[in-house]
A and B are shown apart, each in its own frame.
Chain A
Amino acid sequence: MSRRVIVFLLLSFAVLLAATAAQAGEHKYGFKVYTVLASDFREGFGPDLVLIKDDLKKTGYTFFTPINERKLRIRLGETQAIPIPGGSSFAISPKVFQDKKLYVDICLTGNDKDFSFYDSAPVIGTMAGKAFIFGEDDSLLLIGPKTRWGSIIFVIHEIDL
């Protein structure tokens, strides 16, 4: 094989690799996030919570009302935040995609920045820190900050990899 052909093949391979990497960087991962106020003062579910009713029942609260519902599309390395009551935001940041699994960092910013979801949930460590692992169509329920009225619950649903 001539040196010219080898150089051409190497160049093509490099271009292909760069294109694949760029495409991976462009890909946006989809999440539907429900923010729910959970309390005990009465029983029942607010509207639009049918899809996550079974998840919410596991929390031990008796009353749930949706306070926000957002669809997010986020690239690897990016962070998107959803404001919540109390001067805080719920931040989601996909870190790594490997073996059909997405590693996502989830935290609160603002007044509740010291609150950690990782203390009470099974998580994995990545090079970029702790993360939750998602497969296609997985869902995740997280119990957030509390006041004497109850808790703010987050349900991440309809994950699109």
Chain B
Amino acid sequence: MQRFTLILLSTIFIAFSALPEAGAQRKFEFDVYTVFASDFRHDMGDDLCRVKGCLKKLPYTAYTRLDKKHFKLLLGRTAAIPIPGNSTLNVSPKVYYGKDAYVQVWLTGEDKGLTFYDPENSVSILSGPAFRIKDGDKICLVGPSTRWGTLIFVIDTDVEGLREKGI
């Protein structure tokens, strides 16, 4: 019986120690769109049709795609995306809880002082504020501005959907 208990305990211990390993191996797959939003005309670029719904909620009339990048990251890793104005957008998936990913987003460089978080759109995790993104969802973040307009970042996690549609 003692031997059986020992085996059982070892199995439970191994299973528990493997759990975080499995979580850490899970990858967060997403696209990041960098969009220049302005008011000088009415236009939505054809290359923005995937994120149109998200952008239409913003108070701008012209949207031009500047960049689109695809990532598949291990939890804890960071994607760094250069943006105009000597800054970089950083996206880091921290943890998964069911189908929800908790993702931290911040700027470095000249725009490092700008924060995307407010209590309504974010949650707190151990490493600080984060966005909760459901698999297949998109989030739209309003970034730095100049007198020309504003940079908008869209994080789109509907990558599986895109594959199914062959896009």
Contact = CB atoms under 8 A, between A and B. Distances in A.
A149 B146 contact: yes
Interface string B107-151: 000100000000000000000000000000000000000111100
B38 interface: yes
Contact of B148 (A40, A42, A47, A86): A86
Interface in A76-123: 83-87, 111
Interface string B15-53: 000000000000000000000101111000001000000
Given A42-B67, A65-B64, A148-B110, A84 B40 contact: yes
| B66, B67, B110 interface centre (most CB from chain A within 10 Å) | B66
- Give me the 8 closest cross-chain CB pairs, A-B, nearest first: A85-B148, A149-B84, A147-B146, A85-B38, A83-B40, A41-B82, A39-B84, A41-B84
Given A41-B84, A85-B62, 12 more contacts: A39-B84, A41-B82, A41-B83, A41-B86, A42-B67, A63-B66, A66-B64, A83-B41, A84-B40, A86-B40, A148-B84, A152-B148
A33 interface: no
Nearest to B67: A42
B86 A148 contact: yes
A102 B67 CA distance: 39
| A63, A67, A68, A152 interface centre (most CB from chain B within 10 Å) | A67
A150 interface: yes
Contacts, number: 56
Interface string A47-73: 100000000000000010111100000
Contacts of B38: 67, 85
A150 B86 CA distance: 10
A41 B64 contact: no
B76 interface: no
B86 A111 contact: no
A37 interface: yes
A85 B86 CA distance: 20
Contact of A65 (B66, B85, B149): B66
A124 B40 CA distance: 31
